[in-house]
């Protein structure tokens, strides 16, 4: 892989995404592949006067470990790990999965045990430390994107090395508008939904938490969602690909749910009380990402899409919902996906995937790419 491009991404992650300072401790975690980027990050972190820490996780080994995990073992491990993670100022996760179905046959009960034990650590990493997650180009990702490995690698660098500082500035009008908004209405094929975001707060995601990036997010007032939503983007969760997920809400709670794997869907939504409430609402607009490829770090940033997420809320835009899950389910509203509208306080802000509100035109693909 091109050393110059790897070096540029590492520099962006350290200097922009995490804004690493001398003396800070930063965890670099590689999941499956991505050691080339990790080595460059370690090199540049040392040059900054920071202290890199490195972990490598192999999903096939993690699978075997998870299958035999007991609650007592998970609790003990979390007790050992908690002070270590609380000593980190930053986290960089590199995900180069060669088989994203590796964990598919891990029993849901084992995943629940792990998630419950490590919930406080996940919350700390998500909300209290500087953290960024980035994918790494693999043949598996290229296959999911229906691209050659060479073409996907070029696409990867186009997306991951774009000017996120410029994107951040373009997000300001949407951030300010969402902060002032009370009622949200979303329409589209199989979707008629209303909820409030009043007083929750809004967060820009433009290369600080994920790469690729490109969204502004908040969360609904927990009990305010009413109506039905049909997601038109396949979603891989714990090794199962869900399609045509349809959720019905009353007083914020998911009271009906169906999909191509309805039984597994219900099992996930029954993980805990918070799994049947929504923890995030986000509007996405990355101009280079146009179609789903079965990888959440890319798919949740698709231009003209939004996601409405069952499970845990982020502290930066907190509606109080807590859960061991956080499942970004996505709908694309561009015409080729059926269209749709988003309204803020009875004002149309986006139609068929393009912003129509005068203050938001700078987030349309032609302007963000310019």
**pLDDT tens digits for 304-349?**
999 999 999 998 899 999 999 999 999 999 999 999 999 999 999 9
With the C-alpha atoms ordered 150, 155, 158, 160, is the resulting torsion angle positive or negative? negative
CATH architecture of 3-160: 3-Layer(aba) Sandwich (3.40)
Range list of β-strands (E), the chain: 25-32, 51-57, 90-96, 130-135, 183-188, 191-196, 203-205, 210-211, 215-218, 226-230, 235-237, 240-242, 246-250, 253-258, 278-284, 305-310, 330-332, 341-344, 347-351, 354-355
Give the full edge-to-edge strand order of the sheet including 305-310. 203-205, 215-218, 278-284, 305-310, 330-332
Asked if residue 127 has pLDDT above 80, the reply is no
**Residues whose CB falls within 8 Å of the CB of residue 168, separated by 6 or more in sequence, listed in order:** 204, 206, 207
pLDDT in tens, 131-167: 999 999 999 889 888 889 999 988 888 888 888 989 9
pLDDT band at 38 (very low <50, low <70, confident <90, very high): very high
Longest dimension (CA), the chain: 56
User: What pLDDT, on a 0 to 100 scale, did the predictor assign at position 297?
Assistant: 87
User: What pLDDT, on a 0 to 100 scale, did the predictor assign at position 370?
Assistant: 67
pLDDT in tens, 143-153: 888 889 999 98
pLDDT in tens, 276-286: 999 999 999 99
Q: Is the pTM of this model over 0.85?
A: no
Token couple for 13: 């992650």
Domain positions in the chain are 3-160, 164-368
User: What pLDDT, on a 0 to 100 scale, did the predictor assign at position 5?
Assistant: 86
User: What pLDDT, on a 0 to 100 scale, did the predictor assign at position 2?
Assistant: 60
């Amino acid at each position: 892989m091109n050393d110059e491009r790897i070096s540029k991404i590492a520099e962006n992650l350290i200097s922009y995404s995490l804004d690493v300072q001398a003396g800070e401790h930063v965890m670099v975690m590689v999941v499956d592949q991505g050691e080339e980027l990790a080595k460059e990050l370690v090199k540049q972190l040392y040059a900054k006067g920071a202290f890199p820490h490195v972990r490598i996780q192999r999903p096939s080994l993690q699978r075997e470990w998870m299958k035999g995990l007991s609650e007592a073992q998970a609790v003990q491990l979390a007790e050992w790990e908690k002070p270590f993670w609380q000593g980190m100022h930053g986290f960089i996760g590199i995900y180069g999965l060669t088989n994203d179905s590796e964990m598919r046959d891990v029993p849901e009960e084992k995943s629940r045990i792990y998630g419950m034990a490590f919930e406080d650590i996940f919350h700390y990493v998500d909300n209290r430390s500087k953290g960024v997650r980035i994918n790494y180009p693999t043949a598996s990702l290229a296959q999911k994107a229906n691209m050659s490995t060479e073409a996907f690698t070029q696409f990867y660098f186009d997306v991951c090395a774009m000017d996120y500082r410029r994107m951040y500035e373009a997000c300001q009008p949407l951030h300010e508008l969402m902060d002032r908004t009370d009622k949200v209405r979303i329409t589209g094929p199989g979707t008629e939904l209303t909820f409030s975001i009043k007083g929750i707060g809004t967060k820009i995601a433009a290369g600080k938490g994920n790469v690729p990036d490109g969204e502004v997010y908040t969360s609904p007032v927990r009990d305010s969602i009413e109506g039905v939503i049909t997601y038109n983007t396949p979603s891989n969760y714990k090794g199962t690909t869900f399609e045509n997920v349809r959720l019905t809400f009353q007083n914020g709670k998911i009271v009906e749910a169906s999909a191509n794997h309805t039984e597994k869907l219900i099992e996930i939504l029954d993980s805990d009380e918070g799994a049947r409430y929504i923890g995030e609402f986000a509007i996405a607009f990355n101009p280079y990402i146009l179609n789903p490829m079965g990888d959440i770090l890319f798919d949740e940033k698709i231009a003209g899409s939004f996601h409405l997420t069952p499970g845990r809320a982020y502290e930066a835009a907190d509606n109080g919902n807590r859960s061991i899950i956080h499942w970004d389910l996505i709908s694309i509203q561009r015409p080729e996906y059926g269209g749709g509208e988003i309204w803020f306080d009875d004002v149309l802000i986006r139609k068929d995937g393009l912003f129509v509100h005068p203050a938001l035109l700078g987030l349309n693909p032609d302007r963000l790419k310019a």
